[in-house]
Structure formats: structure tokens, C-alpha cells
Structure 1
Amino acid sequence: MVGRSYGRLLALLAAQCRDITAAEDALADAMERALQRWPRGGVPGNPEAWLLTVARNRLRDMWKSPAHRLSGPWTEDRDVAEEVTEPAAIPDRRLELMLVCAHPAISADIRTPLMLQTVLGVDAAAIAAAFAVAPVTMAQRLVRAKKRIRDTGIPFTLPERTDLAARLPEVLEAVYGAYAIDWLSVPQRPAIESLSSEALHLAMVLVELLPEEPEVLGLAALMCLCEARRPARLDRDGTFVALDDQDRSRWDAGLYARGERLLARAHGFGRPGRFQYEAAIQSVHCADGVERHALRKLYRALMRVGPSLGAAVALAALDGEIDGADAGLRALDTITDRAAERFQPAWVTRGHLLGEAGRVDEAAAAYRRAIQVTADDSVRAYLNERVRSLTSAGPIDGISDTTF
């Protein structure tokens, strides 16, 4: 049980006891009891309320035990679970929990991973892989961060406006990170069941809370534009489909229109930022007849405010398309990030540019390296087909859409 239900329940429990680890243990115990009882007695009418009540009872027993001798912080207010009949009636306190994780008392390098695990239920191993950290190291950091939240008594409430602005960048990073992990690892999973739908929900919650914050609007726009084309990323037999080859009739027209509206609202404030540039880039990619020069300007602007390996590789690809393959290869060679060695889009771009330059054997080798660092079977099959096409018929057009 991950995503919205887990995060909502954990946020409520943690807000009452101010101890994330204890709340996690109580919720895990409630879920274990559910697995034991529900198959025999049936699923209750409101499973979330049932879990919340059982978990709260366990926390009460723990706080009142002689081993804890605790006079606070537990509060004996009425259970929300006893008052609701619909799951939607349980308040969503995940944003407050995210802001707790982004508190200045928490080490900066663990804030986003902590939000990903506690609020969105991302597996610690997946977080470790995304941040290029050993799983054991990541687990230790998460444990220390939760202990610090408990020991320092960080309040589980929305901070003042000035503090909210200071913590907002890390909250946006966590929401974006959850979406990216899901998008890159499981493109075939239906959105309604995926982590990406939870990340998009939180982005829209942020829009409601901060409707005049352009970067919040930019993040929501970015995710809407990406999510709109998820249905077309695989064809009907499960084969990966690059953006240029997608059937646009399979895109979610409602999400696409919402993304464009959010981007227009953000642009109206005249305060561009990283997520707004990324959303604008997606908008240009999705338009009929991509304007490469405009796209390159956007990537250059993005590199000034939010440089990343992905943006650098995309900019090199555009240099190759506009100024010739050799220019693109030179731009690729200037990238010094060590992570580029295992960054699949870098190898795909190199293979494409080498193919355009007529260096077929080198291009095939680059594509094979991209295949080695590709985890998704559908993308791996797509790249294998590119190698076969390259070696049998010479240069081929287009660059794989393996990132968003």
C-alpha cells in the first residue's frame, strides 16, 4: 500500500505523535492486522479509516506504556477515522509532512529522499539508485533524519509564508523526483496505479495552496504535459514509441490542455525559473513542427538557472541538429559529469550523431552501450532495432525519447 493512502495516513499519524518512525511502525502493524483479518471477515466499508483507527490505538498503547512514560506530545483529540464514512473525508496532511522534511534542521542532502520515502512511499532502494548512493548509506541517513525530527520537536504545521518560500524548492524537487523515478522506471504501468499520479496530485495541491507561485505552476504544467502523452509511449503490443513517432490521438487531451493553461499562468508572472523552462521545453516538443532554434534557446536558459546532465545532453543533440553532427559531438565531449558514463540518453545521442556523421561502427557501439545501461525492456528492444537499422541501412533519423 503506497502512494496517496499510505502517505495520507502516515501524515495524520505523524502529525499527532511527531515521530515518523513510530507512525510508520504503527501503520505497518495496522496493515499486517488487515492482511490477517480482512480475508476472513471481509474488507470494511472504509479501509483507510479502519487502518487509521488501529494504528492510532497502537500508538496510544505505546505512549502510555511504562517503557515510554511520555507526558506528550500525543494529543487525545477525537479520531478522524471515527467521524468519516468516505475515504476522501480523511484530510490530506501530506504537504505538512513534506514541509517538516524540508525543515532547516534536516540535512539538505536528505530532505528530498526523506519526502520521497515518507510521503510518497518510494522504496528506499529506488531512492538510493536515483541519488547514486549505496542502499545501506541511504537507509542510515533516513533513520538519522527521522530521529532528528522527533528529537527537535519540529511542528507538523504549515509554516509562515516566508519559511514556506524557503522550503518550497525542496518540496518541488521531491514531487518532481517521485514523478521522474516513476516515469523512467515503469512507463508501461497505468497512470491511475502509478506513483506519477500521486506526484501529480500533490503538484495540484501545491497549485491550490500557492496559486501565485510561478514555479509551482511550472512544475504542475511540466507534469501534466508529460503525463498527457504517457498512453502513447508504448504501442498496443508493448513496443516503445519515441515522441516524434507517437500517435497524438492517444494523448490525454484534457491533461495536455491543463498543462498549457498552467504554463500560460506561470508565464504571466514574468518570473521564469527552472520548472517553467522545463515545461516550456515540453510544450515545444509536443507542438506540431518543433522549432529547433527556439528549443535551443530554452535549453540554454535552463542551463543557466538549473544545469543538469540531461539538459546538457539535450543541448548537445540540438547543436548537432542545427549546426551539424560534428558540432553536437564536440558539445557532448565537453560534458565532464562522471555520471555521463552510465547516462543512457548521452549514449543514445552519441550514437545518433555518429550515425549522422557516417561513422556507422562507432554509432553502433554507442547504441550498444546505451542498451547496456537501459533497464526498461521496451526501450532496450527499441534501441536494438536502431542498431539493426543502422548497420543494415546506414544513418537513421530521430533521437530516442528516453527522458522527459
Structure 2
Amino acid sequence: MHDDAALPLRDLVDALYRQESRRVLATLIRLLGDFDRAEEALHDAFAAAVEQWRRDGVPANPRAWLVSTGRFKAIDNLRRRVRFDASLEQIARQLEIDSQAAEEDAEELQDDRLRLIFTCCHPALAPDAQVPLTLREICDLKTEEIARAYLVTPATIAQRIVRAKTKIRDTKIPYQVPSQAELPERLASVLRVIYLVFNEGYSASSGDSLTRTDLCAEAIRLGRLLLELLPEPEVMGLLALMLLHDSRRKARTDEHGELVLLEDQDRSLWNREQIDEGRQLIARALAGQGFGPYCLQAAISAVHSAATDVASTDWEQIVGLYDALLRIQPSPVIELNRAVALAMRDGPQAGLDVVDAILERGDLADYHLAHAARADFCRRLGRTDEARESYRKALELTRQEPERRFLEQRLRELM
């Protein structure tokens, strides 16, 4: 085959990597019992695909081919190393027996990515490592992206991930969904993981696009799987929250990819099917007992979805829901969001007072949305110099191009 004919194949393999690599990796971790061995097998399998599919054609089930090839590559690699370490022969032999049986039963087993999430969120792991590890392994987020979500350095995130993998290997943490009795105590970490995955998709931490649709869809899919496994109020609340947020996706940018604020969005573009499903879920969740922060956040989003425009939004109810949310989950980010709602109810000075208090405490000093909110309140109050200063600070901190262009436009309007 000529080189120019090979280009479509490489494009296909690249697309498959984007779409399937996390699924293949999760299955390889289950089959091989080791993160590093599975990651090496994953890359070996995709490298083999480029070579062999060019010669033999693309298989009918590419994902199954990649899993099988990765498994064989890992076992072959172990056997090649036997001359340096004879103990690897027994490992390779047992691995071949165990993984063959596991692969044959794969169709009857629960989703491997859900299994992997519970492994990454095992209580034996440090809480500050559970979410970064899962974001890295399940969603292939770079350490830089995860670091921005955590507001820490990439080196810190990398160290947490390495320590977590070592702990899983050394303590032989099982790769399985917990028993029904164990599920509730493990749930909080898993919900946090899924929500961070969604947030990275809904408002990408960097890059040319405001959203990453693949991550939003993945988080919603994982939320549905979790709801099947454990139909608890907070699971319903998280799924409702993601559906209600995602329902606005088409209206959040214009035809040129530019950011459109909630107050300016064409609400006819909102996905009514997702809104209806989300509202039904949150109604079910709030009717029961044990609801928490995800349910309250979903309730806030449901109030927004019920309004035909910003003017008709029930800001009194939204502020009240934020008050309840702050009581059970104190957070400067939630305070910031409440400040925005407060400004809509009581005017921009009320919002500015709250944001200034947050910043004076030293909280959110490196969070661009805090400075953007302050800039907007100052702009609405006619305090132009302060607005320009805050917009410039927000611009220094944001790494997402649509947000940068929006802030630059706001700044130009004040010149």
C-alpha cells in the first residue's frame, strides 16, 4: 500500500484511540491486573493495529481485537524478560490462564470502566489521589488538565497518581465493583470523580473549544450506570445536574464558537428532553431522604431551566438553595456562585461585596471566574477602572480561548 493510501487508516486508528482507548485500557487492567503493564499493552496494541490492519484489513470488532492483541503482547513481553528474571515465567503462565478465562466471560461482566472507577476510588488510597488517578486512567486527561481542576501544580498531581498506582499494586487492591454493603461508603469519591469528568467536558480547562462533548457524554453514561447499580438520591441528583447543564450546550456558543452567557442564550436551543429527564430525576431525589449537595445543585439548575428568560428566573429561590448548599458544603466557589445569584436578586453591589470578601480572605485569588465576576459587577456599577483591572486579571489566569476572547471583548468595550 502506498504511503498516501495509509493516511485514512492512521486517521481511523487515531479516531479509535480517542473513542475506545479508555475502554480498552480498563479491560486490559482487569485482564492483566497491573496499571503499567496494561498501559504498555494498550500502546503495543495500537502500534500493531497500524501495521497489521494495513496488511490484513480492519477487523469486524476493532475493540475486541485491540484487547486480545494487547493481552498477547503483554504476555509475550513477560516471556521475553524471563531470561533476566525466571520468576516471570510463572507470572506469564498464570496470567495467560487467568486472563483467558476473564476475557471469555467479559460479556457477562459489568462495565470495566465502572470497575476501574471503584478501584481508583478505593478507601485504601489517599483521598487526594483517588480523583486524579481516575481522571487520568478513565478519561485520559493530562496531568496539567487535572492540576488546573485542583488548582495545584502538575508535579503534585503526577506524584499523587504514581503513589496511588504503587499502593494498588503493592496492596493488591481488587479490580471489582464493591458489594452492596460496601457501596454507600465508596459512593462519595465516585460521584466526585464523575462530576469532575463532566466539568472538564462542560467547561474545558484549556484549549480552543469551550466544551468537550466526549467527556460530557462519558460522565453522563457513567452516571446512568451508577444509577442502575445504586439508585440513591445523590446519584439521581448528580445525573440530573449533568443532564440539566448539558441541555444548554448548544446555546452556550454562537455559530462562530464564541461564548454566550446564560442571560443571552437562545433558550429554544436548550434540549427539552434532557431538561424533562433531569427535572423528573431531581423530583424523585428530593422526595426521598438523604439528598445532599448534588441534589441541591441540580435543584438550582432546574429553577433556571423552568424560566423562559433571565428576568423571569426565581432568583429568590436560587439564593435560598445556595444558602442551603453552603450549610452542608462550605466552599468559596459556591459562595462565588451565590454572589452572582445575589447580584441578580439585590443588585451588583450585593454581589461585589461578597466577592471582595472572598478575595480579601485569599480564597480564589488564582481563579479567573472570581475576577471575571468582580469585573462584571464593577462594570454594571460604572466603576470602569476597577472593571478593567479585574478583567485583565481574569485574562491572565484563563487558559481557554473562547473565554479569553469574551474577556478581551468586554475589556475593549470599556476602553
TM-score by length of 2: 0.85
Q: Which has the higher helix share?
A: 2
CA gap of 1:112–1:77, structure 2 versus 1, over 3 A, is closer
The aligned runs of 1:94-133 (5 Å cut-off) are: 94-133=113-152
**What is the rounded CA distance, in whole Å, between the counterparts of 1:77 and 1:361 in structure 2?**
65
The aligned runs of 1:158-237 (5 Å cut-off) are: 158-185=177-204, 188=209, 194-211=214-231, 213-237=232-256
Cα displacement string for residues 304-344 of structure 1 (whole angstroms, at most 9, x for unaligned residues): 22233321112222333333433322211221564512212
1:361 matched to 2:385? The reply is yes
Pairs aligned (count): 386
* Other structure's SS at 1:166 match: helix
Match of 1:38 among 21, 36, 53: 53
1:76 matched to 2:91? The reply is no
1:248 matched to 2:253? The reply is no
1:262 matched to 2:245? The reply is no
Q: CA deviation at 1:2?
A: 5.7
Q: 1:274 is aligned with what amino acid?
A: P
Q: CA deviation at 1:243?
A: 1.1
CA gap of 1:89–1:105, structure 2 versus 1, over 3 A, is closer
1:300 matched to 2:323? The reply is yes
1:386 matched to 2:405? The reply is no
1:60 matched to 2:75? The reply is yes
Q: 1:251 is aligned with what amino acid?
A: W
Q: CA deviation at 1:228?
A: 1.0
CA gap of 1:199–1:121, structure 2 versus 1, over 3 A, is same
**What is the rounded CA distance, in whole Å, between the counterparts of 1:97 and 1:156 in structure 2?**
6
Cα displacement string for residues 106-138 of structure 1 (whole angstroms, at most 9, x for unaligned residues): 111100111111122222221122223322332
* Alignment correspondent of 1:375: 399
Q: CA deviation at 1:191?
A: 6.0
* Other structure's SS at 2:365 match: helix
* Alignment correspondent of 1:402: none
* Other structure's SS at 1:119 match: helix
The percent of aligned pairs where both chains have the same amino acid is 36
CA gap of 1:256–1:237, structure 2 versus 1, over 3 A, is same
CA contact (8 A) 1:49 1:81 kept: no
TM-score by length of 1: 0.87
Q: CA deviation at 1:296?
A: 0.4
Q: 2:29 is aligned with what amino acid?
A: A
CA gap of 1:135–1:60, structure 2 versus 1, over 3 A, is same
Where does the alignment leave 5 or more consecutive residues of structure 2 unmatched?
1-15
CA gap of 1:315–1:70, structure 2 versus 1, over 3 A, is same
CA gap of 1:50–1:190, structure 2 versus 1, over 3 A, is farther
CA contact (8 A) 1:4 1:120 kept: no
* Alignment correspondent of 2:21: 6
Cα displacement string for residues 164-211 of structure 1 (whole angstroms, at most 9, x for unaligned residues): 11111111111111111122226847765x222111110111111112
* Alignment correspondent of 1:309: 332
Q: Which runs of 4+ in 1 moved over 6 A?
A: 79-84
CA contact (8 A) 1:17 1:73 kept: no
Where does the alignment leave 5 or more consecutive residues of structure 1 unmatched?
392-404
Match of 1:340 among 361, 364, 381: 364
